[in-house]
């Protein structure tokens, strides 16, 4: 087919070349559509009226030319006329949508947003847009800190110990490594302008699909933001960046006799700990993460930087934005600095271990210790299966009684610790305890506590095949209900035939199930976890004590707190992140689930 030698342009942009048989009729429409814009561009520069109006002579010339083109158009085929008409309709439809965007809908008047009322999410994850963003990012953080390496993309999509099964399509296009709050702000401004979804990444130890990039886009890895910025010994606080590990922080501040109490799994970093509102083995004595965060520096979805508080330990100044961001899992803003409270290390510490004939006996002993108000620093449970895994995996240096076991951590003055040990030993005996052993020195103390810290890794070591998976989940209930739910979960796991251990921070009613399974067993695991969560909610408990909601637990949240509460959370999300760029799909749904995706309650 022969082509016209004249390219057709629209608004100064080349559209391509049309076949000569179509050129005339399309030119008629195109010239009429773009005549105004062409008039302005072709006018010689002058005053405003000279640029806006043409002379009568020019207008007459244009009308004669249009009449000639129209005559040519009449001789063209019906198919060509249809194509031209389709182009015109498409153009005006797009133009109408664009102009309509200048007349936005009225602001919302409701205090909540139901899922059915949320607007369709519109991201731009086209290759062209993301490649252009790559150049923007490289200009902000340097080319060496922007990665499209396949291994980097895969490692920022999930982990083998997460309960969420990542999907092949859920990978970031780019991983960016900023070093300062200002760089994070500039990155978010680019993403906000280009409508690119963002997934934050800290230590990568989260368990419920928190950093799965469900919408692709960009992953912001805070790995380079790993500095302790300020230590105020006299004020018992420290300012850190999000990629500081809690273990590294404690190692540094211990030189000054200080302690940062929250202690989740190894490898966890401050940013992720804030995001999930974690706790750990010290939670019974010291509380969870939210008790230890004084203030935060946060970059919002449009790049705005805010600081939630100054450094005083108490303040009644305005809304408590600090706690709002704790547990928000990166859905409301990106934490770039945190001021944390510190404690003084106890003068004396010790550990004791007690075994019991059943998991119900062990949980009952934990309840008694709490009811007596004994200020133990930590109170942990491991069931018989968990103890068997520890022995079989050889992850510790000693052999353990393969029975449900309680681990106690004590801290305080030497006389106070000795008194606590004696009181706990009596309660253990009264609850049916079989053995009770406490450490004689620091080496024994580390040895006795080692089993608790190796719980997850010992189950992972029991994989029958490299393709096996581990599902780690948690719930929490009022302490009086703890023996019942632990016993019910234990019976359900035994009946399922799955290899699964129970462990947890029973001092505050929080326990975990660590379940080994293969792909065929996944539906069975989902059913067991579903019943465990349902039991917790029906006992006035929570669907997660410290792991967070992520993707896995979001459909359970309405059963715990109610639909209207979730709708209020959704309003909060749309207020802080109206374009839904930050860690989309986590905690609350922003689009309706597909058929069969949500389990019947």
Q: How many CB atoms lie within 10 A of CB 108?
A: 12
**386, 499 Cβ separation under 8 angstroms:** no
Helix (H) or strand (E) holding 84: helix 78-100
pLDDT of 452 reads 87
Over residues 527-553, the mean pLDDT reads 97
pLDDT of residue 392 exceeding 60:
yes
Beta bridge partners of 470: 516
pLDDT of 160 reads 85
The encoded tokens of residue 183 equal: 């760089």
pLDDT of 107 reads 76
| Whole-number percent of the chain with pLDDT over 70 | 83
pLDDT of 161 reads 83
Over residues 175-196, the mean pLDDT reads 98
* DSSP of 517-584: E-GGGHHHHHHHHHHHHHHHHHTT-BS-SSS--TTTSTTTHHHHH-HHHHHHHHHHHHHH-TT--BST
Q: What is the pLDDT of residues 74-88, one digit of tens each?
A: 455 555 555 655 665
Q: Cα(393)–Cα(460) distance, rounded to whole angstroms? A: 9
Q: What is the pLDDT of residues 561-598, one digit of tens each?
A: 999 999 999 999 999 999 999 999 999 999 999 888 89
What is the fold, at CATH topology level, of the domain defined by 228-344?
3.30.465
Over residues 60-67, the mean pLDDT reads 56
pTM above 0.85, yes or no: no
pLDDT of 67 reads 53
pLDDT of 166 reads 86
Q: How many CB atoms lie within 10 A of CB 373?
A: 7
Give which of 163, 238, 95 is closest to 473, Cα–Cα. 163
pLDDT of 45 reads 46
The encoded tokens of residue 492 equal: 């359900």
Over residues 414-418, the mean pLDDT reads 95
Superfamily per CATH, domain 348-538:
FAD-linked oxidases, C-terminal domain (3.40.462.10)
What single-letter DSSP state applies at residue 116?
G
10 or 527: whose pLDDT is higher?
A: 527
| Whole-number percent of the chain with pLDDT over 90 | 73
SS3 state of residue 355: strand
Q: Cα(520)–Cα(438) distance, rounded to whole angstroms? A: 43
Q: What is the pLDDT of residues 279-332, one digit of tens each?
A: 999 999 999 999 999 999 999 999 999 999 999 999 999 999 999 999 999 999
* DSSP of 450-496: HHHHTHHHHHHTT-SSTT-EEEEEEEE--GGGHHHHHHHHHHHHHHH
Maximum CA pair distance of the chain? 108
Q: What is the pLDDT of residues 478-504, one digit of tens each?
A: 999 998 999 999 999 999 999 999 998
pLDDT of residue 375 exceeding 70:
yes
pLDDT of residue 63 exceeding 60:
no
**279, 260 Cβ separation under 8 angstroms:** no
Q: How confident is the model at residue 212 (pLDDT cuts 50, 70, 90)?
A: very high
Q: Cα(414)–Cα(21) distance, rounded to whole angstroms? A: 98
pLDDT of residue 185 exceeding 70:
yes
What is the fold, at CATH topology level, of the domain defined by 127-221?
3.30.43
**275, 336 Cβ separation under 8 angstroms:** no
Q: What is the pLDDT of residues 226-282, one digit of tens each?
A: 999 999 999 999 999 999 999 999 999 999 999 999 999 889 999 999 999 999 999
pLDDT of 106 reads 76
pLDDT of residue 19 exceeding 50:
no
pLDDT of 333 reads 98
Q: What is the pLDDT of residues 93-140, one digit of tens each?
A: 666 666 566 666 677 789 999 999 988 899 999 999 999 999 999 999
Give which of 291, 292, 295 is closest to 318, Cα–Cα. 295
With a CB cutoff of 8 Å and minimum separation 6, the contacts of 504 are: 380, 381, 474, 510, 511, 512, 545
pLDDT of 290 reads 95
pLDDT of residue 511 exceeding 60:
yes
Q: How confident is the model at residue 29 (pLDDT cuts 50, 70, 90)?
A: very low
* Residue ranges of domains in the chain: 8-100, 127-221, 228-344, 348-538
């Amino acid at each position: 087919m022969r082509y016209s030698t004249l390219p057709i342009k629209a608004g100064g942009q080349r559209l391509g070349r049309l076949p000569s048989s179509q050129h005339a009729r399309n030119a008629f429409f195109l010239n009429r559509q773009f005549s105004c814009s062409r008039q302005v561009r072709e006018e010689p520069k002058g005053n405003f009226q000279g640029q806006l109006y043409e002379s009568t002579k020019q207008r007459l010339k244009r009308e004669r030319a249009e009449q000639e083109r129209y005559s040519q158009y009449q001789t063209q085929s019906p198919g060509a006329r249809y194509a031209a008409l389709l182009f015109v309709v498409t153009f005006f439809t797009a133009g109408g949508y664009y102009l309509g965007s200048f007349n936005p809908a009225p602001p919302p008047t409701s205090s909540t947003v139901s899922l059915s009322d949320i607007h369709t999410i519109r991201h731009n994850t086209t290759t062209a847009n993301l490649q252009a963003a790559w150049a923007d990012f490289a200009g902000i953080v340097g080319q060496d800190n922007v990665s499209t390496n396949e291994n980097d993309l895969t490692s920022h999509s999930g982990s083998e110990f997460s309960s969420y099964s990542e999907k092949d399509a859920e990978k970031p296009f780019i991983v960016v490594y900023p070093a300062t709050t200002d760089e994070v702000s500039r990155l978010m401004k680019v993403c906000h302008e280009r409508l690119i979804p963002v997934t934050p990444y800290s230590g990568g130890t989260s368990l419920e699909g928190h950093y799965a990039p469900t919408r692709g886009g960009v992953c912001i890895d805070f790995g380079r933001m790993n500095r302790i910025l300020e230590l105020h010994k006299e004020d018992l606080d420290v300012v850190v960046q999000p990629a500081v590990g809690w273990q590294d922080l404690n190692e540094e501040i211990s030189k000054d006799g200080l302690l940062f109490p929250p202690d989740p799994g190894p490898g966890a970093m401050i940013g992720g700990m804030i995001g999930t509102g974690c706790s750990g083995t010290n939670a019974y004595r010291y509380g969870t993460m939210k008790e230890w965060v004084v203030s935060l520096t946060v970059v919002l979805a449009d790049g705005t930087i805010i600081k939630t508080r100054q450094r005083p330990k108490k303040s009644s100044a305005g809304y408590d934005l600090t706690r709002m961001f704790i547990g928000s899992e990166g859905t409301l803003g990106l934490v770039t600095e945190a001021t944390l409270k510190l404690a003084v290390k106890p003068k004396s510490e010790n550990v004791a271990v007690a075994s019991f004939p059943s998991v119900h006996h062990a949980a009952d002993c934990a309840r008694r210790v709490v009811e007596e108000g004994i200020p133990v620093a930590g109170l942990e449970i491991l069931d018989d299966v968990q103890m068997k895994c520890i022995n079989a995996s050889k992850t510790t240096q000693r052999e353990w009684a393969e029975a449900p076991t309680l681990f106690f951590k004590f801290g305080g003055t030497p006389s106070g610790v000795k008194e606590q040990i004696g009181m706990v030993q009596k309660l253990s005996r009264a609850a049916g305890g079989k053995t009770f052993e406490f450490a004689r020195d620091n080496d024994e103390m580390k040895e006795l506590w080692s089993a608790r810290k190796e719980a997850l890794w010992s189950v992972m070591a029991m994989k029958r095949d490299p393709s096996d998976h581990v599902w780690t989940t948690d719930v929490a209930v009022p302490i009086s209900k703890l023996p019942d739910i632990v016993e019910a979960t234990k019976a359900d796991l035994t009946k399922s035939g799955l290899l699964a251990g129970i462990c947890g921070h029973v001092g505050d009613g929080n326990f975990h199930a660590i379940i080994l399974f293969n792909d065929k067993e996944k539906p069975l695991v989902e059913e067991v976890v579903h019943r465990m969560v349902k039991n917790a909610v029906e006992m006035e408990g929570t669907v997660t004590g410290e792991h967070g909601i992520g993707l896995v637990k979001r459909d359970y949240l309405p059963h715990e707190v109610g639909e209207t509460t979730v709708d209020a959370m959704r309003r909060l999300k749309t207020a802080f992140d109206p374009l839904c760029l930050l860690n989309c799909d986590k905690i609350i749904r922003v689009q309706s689930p597909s058929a069969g995706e949500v389990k019947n309650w």
